[in-house]
Structure formats: structure tokens, C-alpha cells
Amino acid sequence: MTIRFGVSPIAWTNDDMPELGGDTTVETILADAQAIGFEGVELGGKFPRDPAALKAMLSAHRLDLIGGWWSTSLLTRSAEDEIVAAQTHLGLLKALGSPVFVAAECSNAIHGDRTRPLSQTPRLPEADWPRFGDRLNALATYVENQGLKFAYHFHLGTVVERPEDLDRFVAHTASNVGFVVDTGHAALGGIDAAALIRRHPGRVVHVHTKDVRNSVFARVQSGGKSFLDGVLAGMFTAPGDGDLDFTAVMRALAETGYSGWIVIEAEQDPKLADPRVYSRLGLETLKVAATAAGLIPSAETAEPRP
């Protein structure tokens, strides 16, 4: 596998705020993704969980299932209990040939709660990191034995958000506990995505790309607003519409030999930001940046598939 471009359905329907894109169907998402030129799509909350039904829908649009978010509760339950809880989700990913299992610790996360400002993001005491790391190791090993790569998603509003959190995460987990490099969450969490890729190339198993508007995020912080308030205010957008330099990230991926999916995201209100327009902008921006960085040959910047 080399580089393939996919999309997250969060631009069309937001699982944390179901009212955003609540009337959009899965068929619309898949048809739009195919028309724009994506090769795959991540699992969304509205997607059917029956493997045969989902496979038929994806096949009709020549799309692969890239992966799907799993909310872990490893701070409150054992790895064994987590594995049991994840069986249906993991079985769906396996049946559809997904290469990655995306997970994030959500037992005490605040990103889905509009009443909690980002300043109340939970911090994990130093004494709790060894147990958390051991449980992540066990879950990742199980996932790996099932044929998928484990990809931890550091995320605003969770216990792995800042550079120091990520340093502890790496220190207390084994090398097979990979992570998702999410450019938007990295930037707003104070993490240099390109430097992270170069520092831990073996851990980078999945890439999410969204842009940020730093001025909006600054207002969210100064105003004591929540993560979801920030989403509604437009602190995230598609690549090419914000403040980030994606050529730097693509160059880091090229230098470290990354092979896998690059997923475009645009976590916005679809009534204000047409997901077709912004997702197409994101794909075009990343293909130009990836070509300039030598991550993909120039031929791959041709017109999207019909």
C-alpha cells in the first residue's frame, strides 16, 4: 500500500453533535465522496453495522472502509473488558478489510460536552500512566493479532492532548501502540505534527488532515468555550482554508516512508460549509502539497475519478 486519500463523514454529519447534518443520508455521503475522487471513507455514526449491508453500499460507490473511531474506557475498566466491549466494532472493521483500529480514551473526556470549557480538559496524574499504558499495550496487541494496526487518536478535551501528554503516552506504551497524526488537533494542542512524524515514524499508522483557524481557537480559549463551541465557531476547516502548512507535513511523511491512508476532514457545520466544496478543496490542497513534497508522483494529481 502506498498513499491513498480518504474522507471522514464528519463534514456531512457530526457524531458528537447529531443535529449537524442530521438529515443527511449515508447514501449522500458516499455518493459525494465518490464524485469528489476519494478512494475510501471512515465509519460514521449513521453507517449500518451489518457487514454485508455496509459492504454493498461501499462497493456500489467503489469506496473502501478506512477505519472507525472506538471510544475506550481504559481508565475505568480492564483491557480484557475493553476487548470484549469492542468485539462488534472490531468484527465490522475486519469484515470490511479496514487496515486500522482508531481509538481514543473517552471515559473522562469533555469534547462532547458543550457545558465544559476546554480549560477543564482532564489531566492524567503521573502515577496513573503506567496502568493506562499497560492496558493500551494489551489492547493494541490484541488488535494487531486480529490483523489491524492500532491507531490512538490524541484529541482536544481528552487525557492525551498536549506535547507533554504525548511524551508520557510514548514513554508508557510499546512500539505497536501507534497513533493517528491529526494535524488539527496537533496544532491546537501545541504539537508540531511534522516534528512528531520525524521523531516517531514507526508510531505513525494513520493520518487525519484538517486545517485550523488560530484566531477562532484563541477566542474559544479566552471566552471559556467548549470544544463543540469551537467547532460551531469554525476553529476547524478543510486543508487549504486555514493557517496550516501541509507541505511541511507531507514532506515529513515522505522522508519517513509513510505508507497508508491520508484522511481529509472538515469538522464544521455543513449548513455553513458545504462538505462537497470543502472536501474537494481539502483533497486538491493535499495532492498539491504531497506532490511538492515528493510523497506522491505528479501523475496522481490528475482529475478525480468519475
Over residues 78-106, the pLDDT tens digits come to 999 999 999 999 999 999 999 999 999 99
CA–CA dist 86, 140 (Å, integer): 12
Query: What 3-state DSSP class applies to 137?
Result: helix
Confidence (pLDDT) at 31: 98
pLDDT value at 301 more than 90 = no
Return the axis-axis angle of helices 87-95 and 51-60, rounded to nearest 10°: 40
Asked if residue 172 lies in contact with residue 119, where contact means CB atoms within 8 angstroms, the answer is no
Q: pLDDT-derived band of residue 20, with 50, 70 and 90 as boundaries?
A: confident
Maximum alpha-carbon separation in the chain: 54
- For residue 228, being part of any structural domain is answered with yes
Q: Residue 304 pLDDT more than 90?
A: no
User: How many C-beta atoms lie closer than 10 Å to residue 297's C-beta?
Assistant: 11
pLDDT at 15: 82
CATH of the domain at 257: 3.20.20.150
Look at residue 150 and give its three-state secondary structure: strand
Question: For residues 3 and 282, what is the distance between their CA atoms, to the nearest angstrom?
Answer: 15
Residue 158 inside a domain? The answer is yes
Return the pLDDT at 300.
52
Q: Read off the pLDDT of each residue in 119-125 and give the average, rounded to a whole number.
A: 96
Please give the tally of structural domains in the chain: 1
Kindly report, residue by residue over 137-157, the tens digit of the pLDDT: 999 999 999 999 999 999 999
Residue 14: pLDDT band (50, 70, 90) is confident
Q: How confident is the model over 185-233, as pLDDT tens digits?
A: 999 999 999 999 999 999 999 999 999 999 999 999 999 999 999 999 9
Residue 10 lies in a domain: yes
In a domain, 90, yes or no: yes
The pLDDT assigned to 266 comes to 87
Strand order through the sheet with 149-153: 64-65, 40-41, 3-7, 260-264, 204-209, 177-182, 149-153, 100-105, 69-72
Residue 1's pLDDT band (cuts 50, 70, 90): low
Residue 203 DSSP symbol: G
The stretch 130-137 carries a mean pLDDT of 98
pLDDT digits (tens, 9 = 90+) for 49-74: 999 999 999 999 999 999 999 999 99
Task: Evaluate whether 64 touches 97 at the Cβ level (below 8 Å).
Answer: yes
How far from the centroid of its chain's Cα atoms is residue 16's Cα?
14
Query: CA-to-CA distance for 228 and 16, rounded, in angstroms?
Result: 8
Cα separation of 103 and 72, whole Å? 6
Residue among 76, 7, 19 at smallest CA distance from 277:
7
Which residue carries 478525480 as its cell?
Answer: 304
Tell whether 306 is covered by a domain: no
What pLDDT is recorded for position 305? 41
Q: Which residues contact 169 (CB under 8 A, 6 or more apart)?
A: 133, 152, 154, 160, 177, 179
Q: What is the pLDDT of residues 37-46, one digit of tens each?
A: 999 999 999 9
> Does a structural domain hold residue 146?
yes
CB 3 within 8 A of CB 28: no
CA distance 70 to 251: 29
* pLDDT above 70 coverage of the chain, percent: 97
pTM over 0.75: yes
Q: Is the pLDDT of residue 299 over 80?
A: no
Domain hosting 76: range is 3-301
249-282 per-position pLDDT tens digit: 999 999 999 999 999 998 899 999 999 999 999 9
